[in-house]
Structure 1
Amino acid sequence: MKGLNKTRTEVPEILVLEILSKLPVKSLTRFRCVCKFWSSSFQTPLFINKHHLNNLSKNNLNLLLQRCHGPNGEIHYFSQLSTEKGQNFMVKQNIHLPICEDYSTDPIVHGPCNGILCFDAEFKIGLWNPSTRQFKIFPKSSIERPPSADSTSFECLGFGYDSLTDDYKVIRFVSNSFEYEFDGMSFYSHTIVQVDLYSLKSNSWKELPDPGVGAWYAFTFNNYINGFYYWPATEASGHVILSFDMVNERFSTLPLPEFDGGLAQNYLELVDFKGSLGAIVYPREGTLKSVHVWVMSGSWTKQHSFESVPGVERPLGFWENGKVFLESSDHELVLFDPSTRELQNLGVDAYPKKMQIIVYVETLVPLNGRSELEELIMRRSSSWRPVK
């Protein structure tokens, strides 16, 4: 129109980045091609941290379900569940990871830690960022094993973040066993334990002193909490909790909560409970499971109890508004609301006792690895299941 003054408003770059930091990773991946400044800004620690904190403050949660099928539960994959209202946690897509194939033991997933997951599949360990779809396979450890050891096995593992050096670390216990023969039979006489520590920043391994405490596998829940990783463990005096400080790289121990029946009659799972170390205790036997949640705050206190929940096999993880994901006796995923005692069947099944719920927020943390396509990771429709 004649006489109309056209003006162009310039938005300050700092405000543009503030707006962009509130967007999902999928959008930011597309916007990298807009200009070099945006592309480089998305890779700075400041923007990555801001983006992650925005997701945390908005409680933008994502759900992965590790599951398996096959006659013996040997076919492992992941299902991305919808968290949108009204979609009842329906399966959006299924994700197949080749690292989970062809192993004599089940692959174990640790985390998330700042949106990153760690895979432990026998002799291969790697990190996965499901938001950016990057995968990183670790190099083989260069730490020397005792030359006379008859067998070496890789035991439990921990994964966490070193906030001082902005580094992600993986700690692994390695058992070296020695045999002797008696009356024509072979026995293991003793075991030497080594502790390996991997740094993502240096992409290398180093050896740490053995803490002298026997840690157990712990993988149903996320055991990384505010700079520490925790394992149930055994020492000479009995059962304890072993912790590892990711910054100082030191071990220490804590007592277990005191509960009726002890570990002989109950399972114990360590968990991140609202930023504090928690312990979930539930019985090994019975069709009516009572679930007790303990929280460490200087000492152990019982925080919650869900008494006599029918048709439940085991707890899998916490959800919003105090709700809890459970595996039912029929080995299906259900959501339990303790306030109403309502059990909601979500219509997702899996092989018995092998489901794992992973709740994470999106992150842009780079892994300096390869893309999912390069690692032959496949994302397929919700109707797809791997066939052996």
Structure 2
Amino acid sequence: MENLPRDVAFDILSRLPVSSLVQIKCVCKSWRALAEDTRLPSIHHARATSRNPCLILNSTCQIENKLQFICSGDGFNQNSSKVRSLDARFNTAMSEYQVVGSCNGLLCISNSYYYDPITICNPIIGDYIELPKSTQFPMQEVALEFGCLPTSMQYKVVRFVFYIKSEIWSLESHAEILTLGTDHTWRSIGPVPGRLELKPSQALVNGALHWVTLFFQYTPGPRLRVISFDLAEEKFRWIELPSFDCIFTSNCHLVALEGCLSAVHHLGDKGIDIWVMKEYDVEESWIKKYAIGMYVPASLVETTRPQNYEVVCILNKGKILLRYKNGAFVLYNPESEQFNDLTISGLPKSFRTIVHVESLLLIEEILGINTDVLNSKVKSCVGESSIA
């Protein structure tokens, strides 16, 4: 490697996952110097979309509150993969925490019970910042969201608050937003429309967050629709789903597949259909792209319903990664219609799966801001690996 021109060496290293770059530092001094060169992070970050993402596993078990990850490597083609731990240095102020979302190498994390503090971190290299606290409705039911505008690369955190108005005993809602690098405090953007559940956004597409919700009307009756929140305009909008027969939110979930908003329709013991919106916000552009039959992984226990699974992402080679509720991961090949059970050791008992793109860049470099604007200091462990 040391005999190669510097640009060629960087080109090779930029194609590797971060975990591999951490390991090659131990080979020899010359390799360590290459891996720690200040030019490599930006080159590596620019190639992020050409690599398979990694999976962040957020344990939902109180006694196992930790972050772990799975490196997809060449697309989970190995016979087995191993779960690795992330040394979450931000967790000293949070005994219980949850991942709000992932965007361009950054995670947004909050306290599971009180929702503050809210932290933005790069879990791979360990640096993080804490955001200013909201002074309104601090102890109410809260849902948080995190996203980025693809054109301006502005990052925003949205806070949805639901509370009981005591004098009339009605459920009220309120939304606030914080633009990283611009806002010193949270800004009010009005009420939340519809019956938005306290769940993370299911898909960040075209600079907007999306949720499936049940829309009530007398004629022709209740139906599922999508509520979107445009991060640029900071407004809510409705998007129509394809015309499949479904009125239960548990039978439909959204996912971003190859940059498109996609709806997964669960058909019970018949499998799933995956609908893809080829042109964003154009109802007529919905197409049923995949029809995946029912499959029962070998690890599935008899008491678990086999239809309880979700579409995680599409890997670079076109295979679809599925995750069953018992934690089993399965690869589906649309061309051959074959399923492949994945052997992954060290999975937590209960967890959420977050698709994440690794980055070597510091938070300030990704956000493109001076974090002093946030009235917060970057706490960094640069030069140390967060991978245990």
Q: Give the TM-score, by structure 1 length.
A: 0.70
**In 2, distance between residues paired with 1:289 and 1:359?**
30
- Residue 206 (structure 2) pairs with residue 253 (structure 1): no
* Structure-2 change in CA distance of 1:109 and 1:335 (3 Å): farther
In structure 1, the partner of 2:118 is: 125
* Structure-2 change in CA distance of 1:314 and 1:378 (3 Å): same
Q: CA deviation at 1:316?
A: 4.5
**In 1, distance between residues paired with 2:385 and 2:189?**
33
**In 2, distance between residues paired with 1:74 and 1:100?**
16
In structure 2, which of residues 342, 345, 349 is the aligned counterpart of residue 351 of structure 1?
A: 349
* CA deviations over 1:173-200 (Å, ceiling 9, x no partner): 11231346xxxxxxx8113311110111
Q: CA deviation at 1:372?
A: 5.4
Hey, which of these two has a bigger chunk of strand by percent?
A: 1
Q: CA deviation at 1:117?
A: 1.8
Does the residue aligned with 1:212 lie in a helix, a strand or coil? coil
**In 2, distance between residues paired with 1:304 and 1:245?**
27
Is 1:172–1:195's contact at 8 Å kept on the other side of the alignment? yes
**In 1, distance between residues paired with 2:153 and 2:342?**
41
**In 1, distance between residues paired with 2:342 and 2:128?**
33
In structure 2, the partner of 1:274 is: 258
Does the residue aligned with 1:90 lie in a helix, a strand or coil? strand
Correspondence 1:30-179 to 2 at 5 A: 39=38, 48=42, 51-56=44-49, 58-68=50-60, 74-85=63-74, 87-88=78-79, 90-91=81-82, 93-97=84-88, 98=91, 102-103=95-96, 107-111=98-102, 113-121=103-111, 122-142=115-135, 144-145=136-137, 152-163=139-150, 165-179=152-166
**In 1, distance between residues paired with 2:194 and 2:144?**
14
Report how many residues are paired.
332
**In 2, distance between residues paired with 1:257 and 1:372?**
47
* CA deviations over 1:140-177 (Å, ceiling 9, x no partner): 014x44xxxxx942433321113454321011111231
**In 2, distance between residues paired with 1:243 and 1:315?**
20
Q: CA deviation at 1:67?
A: 3.5
Q: CA deviation at 1:201?
A: 0.8
What letter corresponds to residue 258 of structure 2 in structure 1?
Answer: K
* CA deviations over 1:301-329 (Å, ceiling 9, x no partner): 22211112224431251242332333346
In structure 1, the partner of 2:368 is: none
Correspondence 1:347-386 to 2 at 5 A: 347-348=344-345, 349-352=347-350, 354-362=351-359, 364=361, 366-367=363-364, 368=371, 369-371=378-380, 379-380=387-388
Computed over aligned residues only, the root mean square deviation of the Cα atoms, in angstroms, reads 3.9
* Structure-2 change in CA distance of 1:351 and 1:289 (3 Å): farther
* Structure-2 change in CA distance of 1:372 and 1:316 (3 Å): farther
**In 2, distance between residues paired with 1:17 and 1:345?**
32
**In 2, distance between residues paired with 1:262 and 1:270?**
15
Is 1:316–1:356's contact at 8 Å kept on the other side of the alignment? no
Give the number of the structure whose alpha-carbon radius of gyration is greater.
1
Is 1:110–1:158's contact at 8 Å kept on the other side of the alignment? yes
**In 1, distance between residues paired with 2:178 and 2:241?**
28
- Identical amino acids, percent of aligned pairs: 20
* Structure-2 change in CA distance of 1:259 and 1:233 (3 Å): same
Q: CA deviation at 1:340?
A: 3.7
In structure 1, which of residues 240, 244, 262 is the aligned counterpart of residue 247 of structure 2?
A: 262
Does the residue aligned with 1:52 lie in a helix, a strand or coil? helix
* Structure-2 change in CA distance of 1:278 and 1:81 (3 Å): same
Does the residue aligned with 2:169 lie in a helix, a strand or coil? strand
Is 2:201–2:211's contact at 8 Å kept on the other side of the alignment? no
Q: CA deviation at 1:249?
A: 1.8
Q: CA deviation at 1:275?
A: 1.0
Does the residue aligned with 2:245 lie in a helix, a strand or coil? coil
* Structure-2 change in CA distance of 1:259 and 1:228 (3 Å): same
Is 2:99–2:109's contact at 8 Å kept on the other side of the alignment? yes
What letter corresponds to residue 322 of structure 1 in structure 2?
Answer: G
Q: CA deviation at 1:290?
A: 0.8
* Structure-2 change in CA distance of 1:343 and 1:92 (3 Å): closer
